[in-house]
C-alpha cells in the first residue's frame, strides 16, 4: 500500500485537521446500548431522526458495507472573539459564527479521500459529517482524539472542546490506534453547576428537552418552554455555557481555518433584524451558514422571546 496510517495523519494535518485517529470499522456495542437507553428516556425530544434505525449508528458497515477502517478527524473552530453585550442583540453559539462546518469539514475530508485514491485507485470510501448516522463523539473517543466530557462534548487536551468531528469510512485495513485518552474530568462539576436549565441531568447525560441549544435550534414549537425562555440570558441561537465554564477550554487556541471567523464580524445578531426578515432575506442572510438549521419561524420565535424577557416589546404571541 502506497500510504500508511502515519502518512494519512500527516496529510490530514497538512489539510488542516488538528487531530486524526484511525480505528477498525467494528460495531460500537456499548455506546449503542447507551444510545438506546437515552432514546427510551425520550431525551432526544423532537429529534425523531435519532430514533430512526438507531442500530445503524452502531455499525459503520451498515452505512458502508465495504468499510474496514474509520479515519476520524477533529477540526478546531475556536476564534478569539467576544460576544456583544448589547441587550438588543442575541448571542450566537460559537460553532455557527462562520461558514457552515458541514461544508468546511466535508471539503477537507474530500481532499483527504481524493489523495488516498490518487495513491491507490482501489481505495473507496464514504465521508460522514454530522448528518450521517454515525456516533461521531463515540468514534472520536475510540480513535483516541479525546474523551467525552460530563457535558457530553468531546474534549481534547490541546484545543479543549471547540472541535468539529468528521469521519471517512474506507475499504482498506490500516494501522490502528490502541490507546484511548483517559477521562480527565475528575470530580469537576462546572458544566452541571452552570447549566441554567438543568439540562445536564447527570454526569455524561443530557436531556435535550431542557437544553437551550436544542430549544433554540431544533424545537419547532411556536413558543419556547418557560424553563428555556426565562433562562436564555441573551442566547438567540444555541448556547455555549457548558463549554465556556469547562476548565479544559483554558487550552483553547485560535483555529487556522479562516472560514470559522465570525461573518460580518458578528457574534450576535440584532433581534429587530430577525423579526423584520422575509423568507428571501433570511435565505440570503444565512446562506452557507449553520444558522439556517433553525427555520425562520424558529428564529423569529427566539428573537421575540429575548425581547420579551428583556422588556423590550411584547412577544409575537401577544400580537396575535
DSSP annotation of 127: E
Which domain range does residue 140 map to? 5-82+97-170
Does 105 lie in the same domain as 37?
yes
Cell numbers describing residue 254: 485560535
**Rounded (5°) CA angle 237-292-36:** 75
The residue among 170, 201, 229 that closes a domain is 170
Residues 302 and 237 in one domain: yes
Is residue 182 situated within a structural domain?
no
Instruction: Mark which of 170, 202, 229 sits at the end of a domain.
Output: 170
Residues 67, 166 share a domain: yes
Phi, psi at 143, each rounded to 5°:
-85, 5
Indicate if 77 and 198 belong to the same structural domain.
no
178 occurs within a structural domain: no
Buried b (16+ CB within 10 A) or exposed e, 108-122: bbeebbebbeeeeee
Q: Same domain for 119 and 194?
A: no
Check residue 319 and give its pLDDT.
43
Q: Is residue 183 part of a domain?
A: no
* Residue 112 maps to a domain: yes
Claim to verify: residue 141 and residue 200 sit in the same structural domain:
no
Per-residue pLDDT at 316: 46
Note whether 12 and 157 are same-domain residues.
yes
User: Residue-wise pLDDT tens for the chain (320 aa)?
Assistant: 788 999 999 999 999 999 999 999 999 999 999 999 999 999 999 999 999 888 889 999 999 999 999 999 999 999 999 988 899 999 999 999 999 999 999 999 999 999 999 999 999 999 999 988 999 999 999 999 999 999 999 999 999 999 999 999 999 999 998 889 999 999 999 999 999 999 999 999 999 999 999 999 999 999 999 999 999 999 999 999 999 999 999 989 999 999 999 999 999 999 999 999 999 999 999 999 999 999 999 999 999 999 998 756 544 444 43
Tell me: do 203 and 164 sit in the same domain: no
Shared domain for 159 and 296, answered yes or no, is no
Contact 145, 137 (CB under 8 A): no
Residue whose C-alpha is closest to residue 103's, from 111, 94, 114, 91: 111
Q: Please give the pLDDT value at position 313.
A: 58
With respect to residue 177, please indicate whether it lies within any of the assigned structural domains.
no
80 catalytically annotated: no
* Same domain flag for 33 and 145: yes
* 172 close to 113: Cβ distance less than 8 angstroms: no
For position 317, what pLDDT does the model report?
Answer: 43
Q: How many folded domains does the chain comprise?
A: 2
Q: Is residue 92 part of a domain?
A: no
The residue length of the chain stands at: 320
Cβ neighbours, 10 Å, residue 170: 24
**What pLDDT is recorded for position 70?**
98
CATH number for the domain including 106?
3.40.109
Residues 6+ apart with CB under 8 A from 33: none
Give the up-direction half-sphere exposure of residue 75: CA atoms within 13 A in the CB hemisphere: 28
Instruction: List Cα–Cα distances, 198 to 123, 201, 206, 241, 306, in angstroms.
Output: 46, 6, 9, 12, 20
Q: Looking at the structure, do residues 145 and 197 belong to the same domain, yes or no?
A: no
CB 57 within 8 A of CB 32: yes
Q: 116, 141, 170 — which closes off a domain? A: 170
Residues 90, 303: contact at Cβ < 8 Å?
Answer: yes
Q: What is the sign of the dihedral through the CA atoms of 76, 80, 291 and 238? A: positive
- pLDDT digit string (tens) for 53-77? 888 899 999 999 999 999 999 999 9
pLDDT of 178 reads: 85
Helix (H), strand (E), coil (C) string for 92-111: ECHHHCCCCHHHHHHHHHHH
In a shared domain, residues 32 and 150: yes
Whether 181 is covered by a domain: the verdict is: no
Single out the residue of 302, 262, 307, 265 nearest to residue 282, CA to CA: 302
The reply to whether 230 falls in a domain is yes
Marked catalytic residue, from 103, 130, 158, 272: 130
Amino acid at each position: 500500500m502506497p500510504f500508511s496510517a502515519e502518512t494519512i495523519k500527516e496529510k490530514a494535518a497538512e489539510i488542516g485537521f488538528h487531530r486524526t485517529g484511525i480505528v477498525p470499522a467494528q460495531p460500537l456495542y456499548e455506546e449503542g446500548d447507551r444510545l438506546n437507553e437515552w432514546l427510551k428516556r425520550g431525551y432526544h425530544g423532537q429529534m425523531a431522526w435519532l430514533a430512526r434505525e438507531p442500530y445503524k449508528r452502531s455499525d459503520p458497515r451498515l452505512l458502508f458495507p465495504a468499510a474496514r477502517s474509520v479515519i476520524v478527524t477533529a477540526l478546531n473552530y475556536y476564534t478569539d472573539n467576544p460576544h456583544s453585550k448589547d441587550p438588543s442583540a442575541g448571542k450566537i453559539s460559537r460553532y455557527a459564527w462562520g461558514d457552515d462546518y458541514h461544508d468546511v469539514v466535508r471539503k477537507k475530508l474530500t481532499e483527504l479521500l481524493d489523495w488516498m485514491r490518487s495513491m491507490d485507485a482501489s481505495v473507496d470510501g464514504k465521508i460522514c459529517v454530522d448528518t450521517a448516522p454515525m456516533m461521531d463523539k463515540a468514534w472520536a473517543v475510540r480513535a483516541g482524539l479525546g474523551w467525552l466530557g460530563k457535558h457530553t462534548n468531546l474534549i481534547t487536551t490541546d484545543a479543549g472542546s471547540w472541535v468539529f468531528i468528521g469521519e471517512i469510512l474506507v475499504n482498506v485495513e490500516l494501522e490502528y490506534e490502541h490507546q484511548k485518552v483517559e477521562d480527565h474530568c475528575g470530580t469537576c462539576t462546572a458544566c452541571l453547576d452552570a447549566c441554567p436549565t438543568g439540562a445536564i441531568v447527570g454526569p455524561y447525560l443530557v436531556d435535550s428537552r431542557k437544553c437551550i441549544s436544542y430549544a433554540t435550534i431544533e424545537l419547532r414549537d411556536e413558543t419556547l418552554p418557560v424553563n428555556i425562555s426565562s433562562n436564555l440570558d441573551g442566547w438567540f441561537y444555541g448556547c455555549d455555557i457548558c463549554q465556556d465554564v469547562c476548565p479544559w477550554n483554558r487550552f483553547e487556541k485560535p483555529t487556522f481555518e479562516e472560514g470559522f471567523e465570525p461573518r460580518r464580524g458578528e457574534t450576535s445578531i440584532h433581534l429587530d433584524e430577525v423579526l423584520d426578515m422575509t423568507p428571501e432575506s433570511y435565505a440570503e442572510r444565512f446562506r452557507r451558514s449553520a444558522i439556517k438549521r433553525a427555520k425562520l419561524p424558529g428564529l423569529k420565535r427566539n428573537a421575540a422571546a429575548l425581547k420579551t424577557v428583556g422588556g423590550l416589546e411584547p412577544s409575537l404571541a401577544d400580537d396575535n
